[in-house]
């Protein structure tokens, strides 16, 4: 089987990507520090523990497994945290990515699939965001991802690296088979926090900001199912294998949901009330982020087939109740 190095493969999206890669006939090798990942999520290929900033360790792993491509998910990703303490985001995300890119080039591994984010666009006053929208990040997390995109473009020009960059929106849901799911420490994502509140694992869901210029006063986000997202990553890998040039793709559905709308859908799917507290806005949160993803659909043949809100919540709820979440 063809080997792919998956950084952050013990995390939420990375573990789902490893499952999708395995199903597509690849051998995913997870490279993860386990600072935020979970070793028991590594189920679909070999595991190598290490830090992105450890060049010698990266060289050792590239030499041992000889991957033909890198799928790079590993990153610190808490928007609020990045506003309070930006240093680790530049150190881990940017310096770590530089070490990874340099190691890949030394190993002759020039195909690179990068997990970027819609946070690189900043707050664009509620417009639908496509790949040509100006990037103006408003937090250190988005700025670090934008810097990595620039870095990849530099190495493309100088070393022949080819990168598919995915800027995606809010990822939700879980593997329908229940093998992996969403579990962060600390948990900051809306749907698992809400499911915790529904299940009595926390007193209530806090809604941060109810005075945004939106129909119901809460932030609007575009949600994409994690399995649809990782399917796009496999398509991006095949794009590079076909010899096509580097490309940027947005991944979303083009439909935005407010926080209150997500809460209402969760109550409907679980048939339980959602206890809610209202809190102030968080620094760094945009009003609305909605994707234009026609390029991914037209060029990659990608379709978000599980990304309706009820399916995403139902899959997350099923995994949430499976017992894995409490480990």
Give the DSSP H or E segment for 72: strand 69-72
Burial string for 3-24 (b: 16+ CB within 10 Å, else e) reads bbbbbbbbbbbbbbbbbbbbeb
Q: Where in the chain is the domain with CATH 3.40.50.720?
A: 2-171+223-251
Mean pLDDT calculated for residue range 183-212: 87
Does residue 124 have a cis peptide bond before it, meaning omega lies within 30 degrees of 0?
A: no
- If you average pLDDT over each of 173-182, 304-313, 317-326, which comes out highest? 304-313
Topology of domain 2-171+223-251, per CATH?
Rossmann fold (3.40.50)
pLDDT above 60 (res 326): no
pLDDT over 60 at 258, yes or no: yes
Q: Given this model, what pLDDT does residue 124 score?
A: 75
Q: Are strands 256-258 and 220-225 parallel, antiparallel or unpaired?
A: antiparallel
Pairing assessment for the beta strands 256-258 and 170-172 based on DSSP bridges = unpaired
DSSP sequence for 169-214:
-EEE---TTSSS----SS---HHHHHHHHHTTSSS-EEEE-S-SSS
| 297 secondary structure, DSSP code | I
Q: Band the pLDDT of 184: cuts 50, 70, 90.
A: low
- Specify the higher pLDDT residue, 8 or 186: 8
Is residue 89 annotated as a catalytic residue, yes or no?
no
- The residue ranking higher by pLDDT, 80 or 90, is 90
Give me the percent of the chain exceeding a pLDDT of 90.
75
pLDDT at 249 over 50: yes
Distance of alpha carbon 36 from alpha carbon 93, whole angstroms: 14
- pLDDT tops 60 at residue 327: no
Tokens at residue 158, please? Answer: 């100088």
Given a contact cutoff of 8 angstroms between Cβ atoms, the answer to whether 27 and 71 are in contact is: no
Per residue in 21-74, pLDDT (tens digit) is 999 999 999 999 999 888 889 999 999 999 999 999 999 999 999 999 999 999
Please report the pLDDT score of residue 253 as a whole number. 93
Banded model confidence at residue 295, pLDDT cuts 50, 70, 90: very high
Residue pair 282/209 in contact (Cβ under 8 Å)? The answer is yes
Count of all residues that appear for the chain in the document? 327
Residue 6, C-beta contacts closer than 8 angstroms, at least 6 positions apart: 14, 17, 18, 21, 28, 29, 30, 31, 45, 70, 71, 73
Q: Which of 141, 168, 212, 223 is catalytic?
A: 141
Evaluate if residue 197 carries a pLDDT over 50: yes
Query: In the predicted model, what is the mean pLDDT of the chain?
Result: 92
Q: Which fold has domain 190-221+254-326?
A: UDP-galactose 4-epimerase; domain 1 (3.90.25)
pLDDT of 125 reads 67
Nearest alpha-carbon partner for 227 in 162, 184, 179: 179
Collapsing DSSP to helix, strand or coil, 20 comes out as: helix
Q: What pLDDT was estimated at residue 320?
A: 84
CATH 3.90.25.10 maps onto the chain at 190-221+254-326
**Cβ neighbours for 68, distance < 8 A, ≥ 6 positions apart:** 2, 3, 4, 109, 111, 241
pLDDT at 313: 95
Closest CA to 72 of 32, 43, 107, 42: 32
pLDDT at 126: 62
């Amino acid at each position: 089987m063809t080997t792919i190095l998956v950084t952050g493969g013990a995390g939420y999206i990375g573990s789902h990507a490893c499952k999708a890669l395995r199903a597509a006939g690849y051998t995913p090798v997870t490279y993860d520090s386990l600072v935020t990942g979970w070793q028991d999520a590594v189920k679909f290929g070999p595991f190598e523990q290490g830090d992105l900033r450890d060049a010698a360790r990266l060289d050792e792993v590239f030499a041992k497994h000889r991957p033909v491509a890198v799928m790079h998910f590993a990153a610190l990703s808490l928007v609020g945290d990045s506003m309070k303490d930006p240093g680790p985001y530049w150190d881990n995300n940017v310096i770590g990515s530089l070490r990874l890119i340099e190691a890949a080039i030394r190993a002759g591994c020039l195909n690179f699939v990068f997990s970027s984010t819609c946070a690189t666009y900043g707050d664009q006053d509620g417009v639908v965001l496509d790949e040509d929208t100006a990037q103006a990040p408003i937090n250190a997390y988005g700025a670090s991802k934008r810097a990595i995109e620039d870095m990849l473009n530099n190495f493309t020009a100088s070393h022949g690296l080819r990168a598919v960059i995915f800027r995606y929106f809010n990822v939700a849901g879980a593997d329908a088979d229940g093998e992996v799911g969403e579990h962060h420490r600390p948990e900051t994502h809306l749907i698992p926090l809400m499911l915790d509140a529904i299940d009595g694992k926390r007193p209530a869901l806090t809604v941060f900001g109810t005075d945004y210029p939106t129909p119901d006063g809460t932030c609007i986000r575009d949600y994409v199912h994690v399995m649809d997202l990782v399917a796009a990553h496999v398509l991006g890998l095949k794009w590079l294998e076909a010899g096509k040039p580097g490309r940027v793709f947005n991944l979303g559905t083009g439909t935005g949901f407010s926080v209150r709308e997500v809460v209402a859908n969760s109550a409907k799917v679980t048939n339980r009330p959602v206890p809610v507290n209202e809190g102030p806005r968080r620094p760094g949160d945009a009003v609305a982020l909605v994707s234009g993803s026609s390029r991914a659909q037209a060029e990659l043949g990608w379709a978000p087939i599980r990304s309706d809100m009820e399916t995403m919540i139902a899959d997350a709820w099923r995994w949430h109740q499976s017992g894995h979440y409490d480990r």
